[in-house]
Amino acid sequence: MRLVSISFLLTFLMVCNPQSWGQRSCATDSVHAQMMGLAGYAEVFQNKVNLVNQAAESGAMDCATPLIIPVAVHFQNTGIPEACAIDMALDQIEILNQDFAAINPDISQWYAQQPSIWPDISNAESCIQFCLATSDHPAGFGLAEGDYAVTIDQTTGDFNSSWSGYLNFWVRDIGPLGYSPLGGNGNGDGVTCHPQAFSSISCGGNSLYGAYNLGRTITHEVGHYLLLNHPWGNGGCSSTDNVADTPVTSEPIFGCPSGQSIVNCTEPVLWPSYMDYCNDACLFMFSAGQVTRMENYVTSSLQNLLNNSVTACQDPCDTACGCTDPDACNYDAAAANDDGSCDYSCQGCTDSTACNYDPDATDDDGSCVFPTEGFPCDCNLDLDFNLTNAGTGVGDAEIVAATATSNVTSFSIELTYSDVSGGSWAGDLLLGICDPNGTCIEIGGYNMSYGYTDAGGWPAGWNSEAAGTYTATINVSSYGLTGAGDWSFEWINGWSSTTASATWVGSMTIEDLCPGVVGEDVEGCTDSTACNYNAAATLDDASCAYASGCDYCSGEVDGTGTIVDGDADDDSVCDENEIEGCQDPEACNYDDSATDPATCEYAAEGFDCDGNPSGGCPEDINGNGTVEVADVLLLLAEFGCTSNCSAADIDGDGAVSVSDILMLLAAFGEEC
């Protein structure tokens, strides 16, 4: 194994000469290529990859039990004195732990830039922690129990089997900034770093490179050690880094492109990832997929490191121990010696109105990101278009009321393309966009134009007849598209000589463009169950009025609605349930279900409601109990009466006539 390390070193000296450090360099790809050429290594490496892929099904870990990795740092021919070396080593470990736990001071840059540039990508906190070993050191290096695992000029090269069970940092003067095996073994191997890119401390005569002075070279190389590739893989837009949530990119990004959306394939490059080549100041995150891949690699292939941490990472603190960092959640003001127990898990955004609000955070770390006033956090406009069997100039169009939060920065498009007879390209699609202010741009097409400002074409891969799905993310931030009102979108077949056979069907998502026109806040009742609800209100003024009991709402939703009295007579019976009727039980038309009074009808005197005489024997005119001659004489005395007749009007028809005589004679002699 020592011979292999020397061959690597010779290779680096040949291909990576010292430079002015205008750009980052990493020799991990060269290391990996060399090792893949060794007998049996490719099979071993593939087995490790397979284990990670299998473990990936378990997803993110619970960090209640962290994955602790013991670290040893070996300075080789640097001239850096021991005290400075220990300070640099401790500082580098602190940087690693902050970067992996996503509590690095500059993580706020990610929260500020992510919503507009990478809205679908999340960073993540890793459960991996690193300790500078203090116990159970290998013999022969002059380290006593409790000493930090830092050696000065006691090792050479990039491998030492005595330090198996540790993640070793070899700090020495090399051509590139650093390198690492792609997927370390913990068998005495480790990552190698130039002393002028190690930690964030310049001391002992060692001055850090200006662009690489934040310790991110080690973060980058440890990522390789835990099986992370460079984002561009083998290079080109068909490459992969085997992490699903990192956009495909064809090449590294250098310098410090803060705030920029850089697209060199189809999506904005994730340049803040520690695995890219930017300056230290513009590397500040791992994606959630990268974190999961590293954790899975540790648990599947580096159990020897985890096992060794039980003894190697013993707390060297004896008295007045505790967390001495005032920024930590468990800061102990009484502690004089830091015992490595500092916990930062309580930090996060504590403002519930922020887009990145963390309900579990109790200590605000200043990372809160707020939406533009009047807009939601996620403010994108989605559109569909359909050009089927489209000939020259045939297309689709849509006008949408929308409001830009600022200038529209970019849009993503996914297109399903086909052409029956051939000749057209996917890239013949011509898109026009006009904002409410009259600013118009066009993208794509072949030899046709809307006459708008030319904003470029589709990716080169769209210049194809092949049927399939085509995707792109287009940066339009420099064209000043903005405003509130009607936005127009047009899609046509932009080749003047095409036949009516090509089809473009797809969808677009325009960043920073909110559906609807956002204006000033309107005060009013915002509760739709209230009678005075105002559908246009955006700010509740506590004026909501509600109906109860029999009352109900008048129905308007513009704030003018009122409460309508539903019990006009206050009898506790709702108007809609009231029943009008005669409420006198003595009346002929009495209604026992009536709740409201109505006219009552009564029988004529001496008769019942059906018109029958109410007496038991009407023929007994004198009322002596017998129908007799005396009754006949009384009837005859009244015979011919036509009004106000006496009891002689036996049949009750208002007159004394023959019919009364006949009724009396029929009952003559009866007792009543």
- By annotation, the residues acting in catalysis are 221
CA 355 – CA 376 distance, rounded (Å): 8
Cβ atoms 647, 626 nearer than 8 A: no
Beta bridge partners of 404: 513
CA 389 – CA 420 distance, rounded (Å): 9
Comparing CA positions, the residue from 549, 417, 522 lying closest to residue 472 is: 417
- Find where tokens 């409601």 sit: 609
Q: How many angstroms separate the Cα of 617 from the Cα of each of 2, 259, 626, 649? A: 141, 114, 9, 13
Cβ atoms 281, 106 nearer than 8 A: yes
Q: How many angstroms separate the Cα of 274 from the Cα of each of 64, 253, 456? A: 25, 11, 31
Comparing CA positions, the residue from 286, 42, 86 lying closest to residue 182 is: 42
Helices (H) and strands (E) in the chain, counts: 10, 26
* Axis-axis angle for helices 658-667, 629-638 (nearest 10): 170
The pair of three-digit structure tokens given for residue 380, joined into one six-digit string: 């994108």
CA 8 – CA 471 distance, rounded (Å): 41
Q: What count of other Cβ atoms lies within 10 Å of the Cβ of residue 516?
A: 11
Strand, helix or coil for residue 529? coil
CA 526 – CA 537 distance, rounded (Å): 6
Length of the chain: 672
Cβ atoms 308, 284 nearer than 8 A: no
Running DSSP on this structure, what letter comes out for residue 166? S
Q: How many angstroms separate the Cα of 632 from the Cα of each of 614, 659, 666? A: 21, 13, 12
Cβ atoms 130, 100 nearer than 8 A: yes
